[in-house]
Amino acid sequence: MTETIIGIDLGTTNSLSASVFEEGPEIIGTAQDACMVPSLLSRTGNGWLVGEEARARLISSPTNSVYSVKRLMGRGLEELEEEIRELPYQVEAAQRKLVKIRLGEESFTPQELSSVILSRIKEKAEKLLERTIEKAVITVPAYFDDAQRQATRDAGKIAGLDVVRIINEPTAAAIAYGLDEKKQGYVAVYDLGGGTFDISILELKGKLFKVVATHGDTRLGGDDIDRVLVTLFTQSLLDQYPNLDLEDPSSRQILRKTAEEVKIALSGSMEVEYILELPEKRIKHRGQLKADELSRQIEPLLKRTFDSCAKALSDAGLKHGDIDEVVLVGGSTLVPAVRKGVESFFGRTPHVAIDPYKVVAIGAAIQGHLLAGGRRDFLLLDVVPLALGIETLGGTFSKVITANTSLPAEESEVFTTHVDQQTSIEINIFQGERELVQDCRSLGRFKLRGIPPMKAGFPLVEVTFRVDSNGLLTVSAYEKRSGTEAQIEVIPSHGLTQMEIDAIMEASFEHAVDDFNQRQLIEFKQTAERVFRGIQMNWKIAEEILDEDQRFSIQKQMEIVKQKMTSEDSQILKAELDALGNLTRPLADSAMGRAVLEELQQQNP
């Protein structure tokens, strides 16, 4: 086995680590076990709080807490004037034209503060990988100068890490997609994070990347999208409560947090319902926002990023058409409008198969693996890792594409309505290997509206799942009788690490028998209810063609089925349901009972 050199993306907002496992490169740990450390610190009487633990103290103890240290790395006081004005903590001059950050009675260099984050990452990785970690590849923005790179190296050293190499973030992203294997060409890396935007144009020559142009905006990112939403929310609140003051820290915090949640939800839905709860003001305000509206609102922000892209292209002496590959980096590129904008600007489908907030760490891990003498013998996502499907009646999961289907893949299934005159259908998209959606992962949802009123079971809704070679999933729904249609795009594997996918697969084997029984129970209960309705609707006919004994047996059997509907064993319910079917057969077989027969035959929704 080769030695482990982990990759670390030391970010402005979040930092995370990755490693190359047997199955391929992945983030270390699971989403639950915090593989991602928010780049936040707070000094306490007996040490440091790091990451999520420090978040609350940003508000309760601002003078002891630090964020955005990356912005200060390797820089002098004069260069930082503008930055410092916006930071709540105190930055002072130190020797060699560098700065220190004052926290209470003490002061620290940015390197020292970054090393605290790196130590935490090292500790976490050691715990999760169950071995000691000594070496790492750390990434930095392409525009970092020598002093900033040296400061990052020093931070690693203080954390007890041997930093075997510092690589550029865009280069790491390109390596994650294996673009270094392509030998030559131009790669554009579009990175929209929490508070910064970077565009880098890389030139690949014989497996080596050279940065030929960078441009960007250190004040543009997901936080700005949140602010756009806060403005919308504020307006909507003021429309209803004209005298409301929303400037206090608690209200602002609630608005900001809701904004980010709504933004993230809109990356997987065409519209989102939200609740703004301001307990101090006794306000509970409900609202709704469409993804289209968000796209419209952020257009000016996106335009600024494309202006930067155009400048970078012209600095490099290139035209749009010269770019061979486009790579997306940063959590904010999950916003569909961002993805679409990039696609139309470069006239190329960007790579999206790897989570944009993981891709830099993953590339760094691959670089570490190669430096340790490892081989690149793993494949990029080329199959659907977990089944994809939709929620059907009673919370059951109906798979449309099964796990391990090769990409690109396309499958369709026809579904129908369960209620008469239903004019819309909600399509809830899930990913997983279990029988009930409660045990699967929600990927997104949308509504197919405008279905003309029809009897239940009449509309024919064809749901198509298409996963392109990039891993992007498009789900569309088409009602065949009326021609109404709707669709949404989501990226299925995001947010899951290989460790999590393995755990999900294992759980599905473990629960297979139980899940199957649960699913059958739900389905048999639905059948029973449908049969009851059929019998009730046609009782008049039964009175004509069946004798009293037969009718009594049917009623008695209906009671038994009702009782068994509360049981936990699907097979018992099925046996009694079959018995009821036998008793009602003469009714169904008779000419007049044809309607009943139809009801009975419509067993599957």
How many whole angstroms separate alpha carbon 567 and alpha carbon 563?
7
Out of Mg ion, ligand ADP, none, what residue 68 binds, judged by CB under 5 to 8 A for its kind, is none
Site for Mg ion in 192-231 (CB under 5 A): 193
Q: What residue type is assigned to position 208 of the chain?
A: L
Which one of ligand ADP, Mg ion, none is in contact with 263 (Cβ closer than 5 to 8 A by kind)?
Answer: ligand ADP
Pick the closer one to ligand ADP by CB: 32 or 566: 32
DSSP reduced 3-state for 495: coil
Nearest CA among 581, 465, 499 for reference residue 23: 499
Q: Could you give the CA distance from residue 327 to residue 566 in angstroms, rounded to a whole number? A: 53
Q: Name the residue whose CB lies closest to Mg ion.
A: 193
- Tokens at residue 436, please? 């009930």
CB atoms within 10 A of CB 149: 18
User: Which residues within the stretch 261-290 sit at the binding site for ligand ADP (CB under 6 A)?
Assistant: 263-264, 267
The site partner of 370 among Mg ion, ligand ADP, none (C-beta below 5 to 8 Å per kind) is none
Please choose which of Mg ion, ligand ADP, none residue 445 contacts, taking the beta carbon within 5 to 8 angstroms, the exact cut-off set by kind: none
Provide, rounded to whole angstroms, the least separation between the CB of residue 350 and Mg ion.
16
Least distance from C-beta 14 to ligand ADP, angstroms? 4
Query: Is residue 444 part of the contact set for Mg ion (CB under 5 A)?
Result: no
CB atoms within 10 A of CB 91: 21
Minimal distance, residue 187 CB to ligand ADP, in Å: 18
Residue 173 binding: pick among ligand ADP, Mg ion, none (C-beta 5-8 Å cut-off by kind):
none
Residue number with CB closer to Mg ion (332 or 526) = 332
Judged by CB, which is closer to ligand ADP: 29, or 193?
193
**Using rule CB under 6 A, residue 330 touches ligand ADP:** yes
Q: Which stretch binds ligand ADP (CB under 6 A): 122-130, 257-265, 317-325, 457-465?
A: 257-265
11 touches Mg ion (CB under 5 A): yes
The reply on whether position 190 binds ligand ADP by CB under 6 A is no
Q: Residues touching ligand ADP: how many (CB under 6 A)?
A: 21
Write down the least CB distance from residue 310 to ligand ADP, Å.
22
Report helix, strand or coil for 591: helix
CB atoms within 10 A of CB 525: 19
User: Which residue stretch of 215-223, 429-437, 529-537, 543-551 sits at the interface with ligand ADP (rule: CB under 6 A)?
Assistant: 215-223
Tell me the torsion sign for CA atoms 362, 364, 370, 373: negative
* 3-state SS, residue 104: coil
- In this chain, which of 7, 193, 216, 350 binds ligand ADP, going by CB under 6 A? 193
| Nearest alpha-carbon partner for 137 in 19, 23, 2 | 19
Which one of 260-268, 278-286, 366-374, 552-560 is the stretch in contact with ligand ADP (CB under 6 A)?
Answer: 260-268
Question: Which one of residues 7, 11, 389, 492 is an interface residue with ligand ADP (CB under 6 A)?
Answer: 11
Residues 477-496 that bind ligand ADP (CB under 6 A): none
By the rule CB under 5 A, 605 interacts with Mg ion? no
Q: Which is nearer to ligand ADP, 265 or 310 (CB)?
A: 265
Site for ligand ADP contains 12 (CB under 6 A): yes
What b/e string do you get for 446-472 counting C-beta neighbours within 10 Å, with b at 16 or more?
bebeebeebebbebebebbbbbbebbb
Gyration radius of the chain's alpha carbons: 29
Q: For residues 237 and 287, what is the distance between their CA atoms, to the nearest angstrom?
A: 9
Relative to beta strand 197-205, strand 208-217 is antiparallel
If you write DSSP's letter for every residue of 6-31 in order, what string do you get?
EEEEE-SSEEEEEEEETTEEEESS-T
In angstroms, give the least distance from the CB of 11 to Mg ion: 4
The residue with tokens 């290997």 is 433
Binding string, residues 218-247; x marks residues near ligand ADP by CB under 6 A: ---xxx------------------------
> At 465, which amino acid appears?
F
Q: Please state the closest distance from residue 203 (CB atom) to Mg ion, in A.
A: 22
- By annotation, the residues acting in catalysis are 9, 70, 169, 191
CA distance 590 to 163: 83
Residue 114 and residue 10 in contact, taking contact as beta carbons nearer than 8 Å? yes
Least distance in angstroms from the C-beta of 521 to Mg ion: 47
Beta carbon of residue 360, minimum distance to ligand ADP (angstroms, whole number): 8
The interface with Mg ion within residues 496-525 (CB under 5 A) comprises: none
d(CA 40, CA 65): 7
Site for ligand ADP in 336-365 (CB under 6 A): 357
Closest CB to ligand ADP among residues 230, 451: 230
Q: How far apart are CA 137 and CA 371, in angstroms?
A: 9
Nearest to 530 by CA among 570, 582, 577, 591: 577
Residue 356 CB, nearest distance to ligand ADP (Å)? 7
428 binds, among ligand ADP, Mg ion, none (CB under 5 to 8 A by kind): none
For 105, other C-beta atoms within 10 Å of its C-beta total: 6
335 lies in the site for ligand ADP, by CB under 6 A? yes
Sequence-distant (≥ 6) Cβ neighbours of residue 146 within 8 angstroms: none
| Sequence letter at residue 196 | T
Closest CA to 121 of 172, 20, 64, 51: 51
264 binds, among Mg ion, ligand ADP, none (CB under 5 to 8 A by kind): ligand ADP
Q: Does 534 bind Mg ion (CB under 5 A)?
A: no
CA distance linking residue 89 with residue 270, whole number of Å: 40
Candidates 129-137, 190-198, 294-302, 508-516: pick the segment binding Mg ion (CB under 5 A): 190-198
308: left (phi over 0), alpha (psi -120 to 50) or beta: alpha
Q: Where along the sequence are the contacts to ligand ADP (CB under 6 A)?
A: 11-14, 193-196, 221-223, 260, 263-264, 267, 330-332, 334-335, 357
Q: Where along the sequence are the contacts to Mg ion (CB under 5 A)?
A: 11, 193
